[in-house]
């Protein structure tokens, strides 16, 4: 059995002041055919599993390009066309194939193309024809279009947020697609539009129980696969919002019923699934009250200045508040500032210098901080871990300003792991407070080392309220723009009848 695989992935914040081009892909991750590392990246969980199957003699594997850009702003058209045509050309050269596996994110939007993944899947289908099986793995913070569903045989989505199961989702996609290619199953994809846009962390109820229920249904044979698309509120897409995917073995009626039941249950979580979001000063005050209650640090997540959501990650608002309050034993990671890193490199470890850092890309991310800093450590090509994945931070510097230690990085990245700090020589065991820029992906690795976790909703460049984001492409009724969109849909259907 001949199998082709490839990956083009990024998450596009269409409101971001940033823009994304080919250099963002090559800087974050770019692997030409055959050069993908043994460890997976967030959207390439299919690669190690397919290689394992190939080594076992089950398939003949033809690898295409695998590339990922850190979430950012609109992808320019030239970059999108270049990457799309590169992969499609590799596929044409690989023909004939029995199956195609694609590692995608699902929230990529380019100038002139609102549905990059849908366009890619449609083009793949046109090349391989109706009999070749196509599988795709998605991030839940994506936009599920009809074009994607119509052109794929299998779609799997990470169930967890934080995305600790991205490898398992890739493995499930491979397994179901190969089974379909061998004729062992005939997958049918059922989709229910939940018509809701909310923050849905699975590290706490009600989403924790909902994910466990999906897994239990799969284990009981109710479906081959069940997935939840959460949606990505910073992407102005006509398909914005949550959706349920149920894949059955030729049982459309059961799949449709199960998707609808799970979808209405998910809709009932609206407005109560997210953790408590605190105002910045309230978060710092609460953290101070909690410090000392344990020998572990308190962790504050700066949820909206999250590079994983496509913003720069150079907000200084919390850092400035820490300095103004004179807090001690605090570490913050990261502030994206390649220029400041370069100046620290030139000064060298142990140097003291006047440095301006942060606050460069948005008027809403706070002013730059001007301070005398001590350069604690310089690390070329620094990294952090995210499960089995290695995440590049680029050249990085750890600096100290009064009681605050800050990791400055050259490659934008949200916080995934405590080794973000320890790789830069910062002893987190000595810290009372850690501040990380992430919405929830930090949770899996930081929870074991934290006494408490707080979420600070620092308003800034991220479009964090769907009610006022000003979507132009969204035409469907969804919550919270509409209180009960399902009543509207039901009324419209009755009128048509």
Residue 491, pLDDT score? 59
Give residue 14's pLDDT.
Answer: 98
CB 236 within 8 A of CB 193: no
For residue 137, tell me if it sits in a domain: yes
The encoded tokens of residue 370 equal 């001007």
Q: Is residue 483 part of a domain?
A: no
Taking the whole predicted model, whether its pTM rises above 0.75 is answered as yes
Same domain, 131 and 13: yes
Do 185 and 290 belong together in one domain?
no
486 domain-assigned: no
User: Both 195 and 286 in a single domain?
Assistant: no
Q: Does any domain span residue 151?
A: yes
pLDDT of residue 375: 98
Query: Do 63 and 167 share a domain, yes or no?
Result: yes
Same domain flag for 256 and 291: no
From edge to edge, which strands make up the β-sheet containing 369-386? 277-278, 452-456, 298-302, 433-436, 330-336, 404-409, 389-401, 369-386, 352-357
What is the total count of domains within the chain? 2
Q: Do 87 and 173 lie in a common domain? A: yes
One domain for residues 289 and 174: no
Q: Is 115 found in the same domain as 202?
A: yes
Same structural domain for residues 258 and 195?
yes
Where a domain ends, among 209, 244, 267?
Answer: 267
pLDDT digits (tens, 9 = 90+) for 308-355: 999 999 999 999 999 999 999 999 999 999 999 999 999 999 999 999
For 459, the token pair is: 């308003």
Q: What is the pLDDT of residue 91?
A: 98
Residues 68 and 169 in one domain: yes
- Is the residue at 463 inside a domain? no
- Measured distance CA(177)–CA(99) in Å, rounded: 7
Out of 241, 267, 293, a domain closes at: 267
* pLDDT score recorded for residue 293: 80
| Among candidate residues 267, 286, 307, the one where a domain is terminated | 267
Note down the domain range covering 408.
277-456
- Omega before 96 cis (within 30°)? yes
Per-residue pLDDT tens digits for 245-264: 999 999 999 999 999 999 99
Successive 10-residue mean pLDDT values, the chain, 497 residues: 98 96 96 96 97 98 98 98 98 98 98 98 98 98 98 98 97 98 98 98 97 98 98 98 98 98 98 96 96 91 96 96 97 98 98 97 93 98 94 97 98 97 97 97 96 95 95 97 88 55
In a domain, 120, yes or no: yes
In this structure, is residue 272 part of a structural domain?
A: no
Predicted local confidence at residue 496, as pLDDT: 54
Q: Residue 116: its pLDDT value, please?
A: 98
* pLDDT of amino acid 494: 53
- Same domain, yes or no: 105 and 45: yes
156 and 35 in a common domain: yes
């Amino acid at each position: 059995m001949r199998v082709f695989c490839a990956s083009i992935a990024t998450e596009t914040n269409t409101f971001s002041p940033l823009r994304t081009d080919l250099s963002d892909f090559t800087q974050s991750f770019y692997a030409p055919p055959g050069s993908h590392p043994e460890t997976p990246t967030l959207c390439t969980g299919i690669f190690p599993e397919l290689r394992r199957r190939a080594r076992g003699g089950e398939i003949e594997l033809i690898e295409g390009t695998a590339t990922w850009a850190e979430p950012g702003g609109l992808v320019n058209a030239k970059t999108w066309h270049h990457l799309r045509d590169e992969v499609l050309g590799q596929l044409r050269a690989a023909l004939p194939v029995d199956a195609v596996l694609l590692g995608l994110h699902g929230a990529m939007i380019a100038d002139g193309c609102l549905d990059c993944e849908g366009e890619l899947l449609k083009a793949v289908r046109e090349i391989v024809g109706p009999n070749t099986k196509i599988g795709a793995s998605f991030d839940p913070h994506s936009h599920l279009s009809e074009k994607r569903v119509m052109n794929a045989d299998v779609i799997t989505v990470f169930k967890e947020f934080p995305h600790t199961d991205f490898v398992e989702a890739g493995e499930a996609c491979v397994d179901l697609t190969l089974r379909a290619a061998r004729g062992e199953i005939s997958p049918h994809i059922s989709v229910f539009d939940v018509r809701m846009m909310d923050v849905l962390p699975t590290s706490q109820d009600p989403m924790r129980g909902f994910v466990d229920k999906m897994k239990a249904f799969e284990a009981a044979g109710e479906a081959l696969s069940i997935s939840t698309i959460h949606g990505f509120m910073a992407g102005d897409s006509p398909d914005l919002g949550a959706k349920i995917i149920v894949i059955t073995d030729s049982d459309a009626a059961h799949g449709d019923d199960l998707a609808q039941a799970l979808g209405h249950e998910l809709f009932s979580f609206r407005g109560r699934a997210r953790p408590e979001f605190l105002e910045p000063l309230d978060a710092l005050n609460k953290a101070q009250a909690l410090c000392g209650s344990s020998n572990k640090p308190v962790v504050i997540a700066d949820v909206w200045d999250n590079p994983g959501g496509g913003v720069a990650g150079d907000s200084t608002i919390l850092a400035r508040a820490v300095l103004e309050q004179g807090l001690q034993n605090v570490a913050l990671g990261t502030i994206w500032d390649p220029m400041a890193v370069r100046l620290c490199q030139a000064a060298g470890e142990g140097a003291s210098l006047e440095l301006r850092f942060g606050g460069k890309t948005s008027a809403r991310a706070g002013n730059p901080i001007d301070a005398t800093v001590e350069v604690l450590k310089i690390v070329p090509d620094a990294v952090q871990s995210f499960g089995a994945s290695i995440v590049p931070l680029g050249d990085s510097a750890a600096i100290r300003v009064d009681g605050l230690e800050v990791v400055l990085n050259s490659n934008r990245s949200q916080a995934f792991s405590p080794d973000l700090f320890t790789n830069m020589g910062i002893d987190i065991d000595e810290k009372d407070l850690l501040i990380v820029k992430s919405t929830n992906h930090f949770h899996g690795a930081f929870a074991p080392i934290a006494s408490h976790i707080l979420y600070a909703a620092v308003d800034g460049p991220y479009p964090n309220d769907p009610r006022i984001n000003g979507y132009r492409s969204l035409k469907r009724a969804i919550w919270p723009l509409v209180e009960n969109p399902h009543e509207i849909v039901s009324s419209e259907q009755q009128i048509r009848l």
